[in-house]
Structure 1
Amino acid sequence: MPFDAVLFDCDGVLVDSERITNAVLRSMLQDLGWQISEEEGFRRFVGRALTDEVGVIEEHTGFAVTSEWIAEFRRRRDEALAVSLQPIPGAIDAARQIAKLYEGRVAVASGADRRKIELQLTKVGLDDVFAGQIYSGMETAYSKPAPDVYLAAAAGLGIDPARAVVVEDTPTGVRAGVAAGATVLGYCPPDSFAHHEPAVLLRAGATRTFSDMALLGAEIQSL
C-alpha cells in the first residue's frame, strides 16, 4: 500500500453540491442588492467557509452579516440539498472500494459544518463508509487553506499525515492538504463549470490531477 489512509474532501469530490449551494447563496445575496453572477459566485465562495467571507458580503451589500442570516442560509441550503443532491459520478463505488482496500482507514475532512457533511453523506448513501470519521473545519481553530482539518483527520485515524493521500477539488483545499504534509490528488472533471482547471490545482500543490472518480483507486495505487 503506497499510503496508510485516504482523506476525502466532500463537496465537489464525493457530492455534486456546489451548484445547489451557490444558487441558494446567490439568491440571498441578490436579495441584498448584489447582482452576483454564477461564475463570480463560484470564484469568490466555492472552497471557502462562508464565515470567512462576511467581509466580502458586507463590502458589496452594506449589510452587516449576522449569525441569524448565516443560519437562514444554512437552513435554505440544507433544504435544497435534501431535495436535489446527487453523488459525483463514480464516487460511491470509489469510496467503498478504497475503504475496503484500506480496511476502513478513510475519512472525510471538509470545510463545511458537520450538519451539512452528515446530511450529504446520508443522502448519497455514504454515511456508513465514513461513520465516526467525519471532520469539519468549523470545529478546528482555522479552516482551509490551513491544514487543521486534515491534521485532525490524520490524528483521528492514528496515522502520520505524511502517509496520507488527500483528494481535493479546489486550490484552497489542495493548499490545506499540502500544508498538512499529505500527498494531494486534484479532481477536475472535463467541461465542468463547477471545478477548477488542472493547472490551477497543480499550481496550488497537487501532485497530480485526474478527471474520472471511477479511476481514483488506480490513481492512488500508481503514486
Structure 2
Amino acid sequence: MFEQMDDQLMDAMCDRLKPVLYTEDSCIVREGDPVNEMLFIMRGKLESMTTNGGRTGFFNSDILKAGDFCGEELLTWALDPHSSSSLPSSTRTVKTLSEVEAFALMADDLKFVASQFRRLHCKQLQHTFRFYSPQWRTWAACFIQAAWRRYSRKKLEDSLHEEEIRLQAAMASSGAHSPSLGATLYASRFAANVLRTLRRSGTRKARLQERLPVMLLQKPAEPDFSAEEH
C-alpha cells in the first residue's frame, strides 16, 4: 500500500501517525470490540487470536512482530466509500507478548488518508492486502482444511465401495467353485463380518468428521473499488 502512495500522500499519512508504547501482557483490542486505530509495529511481539466469534472448537492464533500490523478491519472500513459511520468490530483479540513500540493511525485520520488513496490504482492493493492480512490467511487455511476433509471423506467412501465389490466377488467365486457347503458358509460369514467391520469403520470416521466443526470462516470483507474504476 505504501509503495503505491505518492510522496504527498505519504507525508499526509506520516503527519497523522502517533507513536505508542505498550507494556508486556497488555490487551490492545478484544474480539468483538470496536476498532478505533490501526497499529504498525516497530518493535516487540504480539499475539493475534480469534475464536470466530466464540465458535466452539475454533481457535486460531498468529504472532505479529516488527513490520506487521493489526486493526486491518479499520482499513477495510476506511477504504470502502459506502461504509457506515460506526466503527467496525474486531475479528481478533490482540495482546502483547513483550513491550511493543508502534505507530497508531486513528480512525478519522485513516478515513482521510483512504479517501485520497482511493483515487489511485487499487487493484494491486487488494492482492497485497490479502497476502499480508491475518484475517485472509486464516480464512484461506480454513478453506483448504474444509476442502481436504471433503476429499478425504470421498476417498474413504470410494475405498469402502471398492472393498465391498471385491469381497462380494470373492464370496461368489468361492460359492461357485467350492464343493464343500460348510466351506461356502464359512466364507460367506467371513465376508459378511469383514463388510460389517468396514462399514462400521467408515461410519465411525464419517461421524468423527461430522463432529469436528467445519472450520469455515466467513470470507473477510474488502473494499469495493468498482465506483473508482468506473
TM-score by length of 1: 0.26
Which protein is richer in strand relative to its size? 2
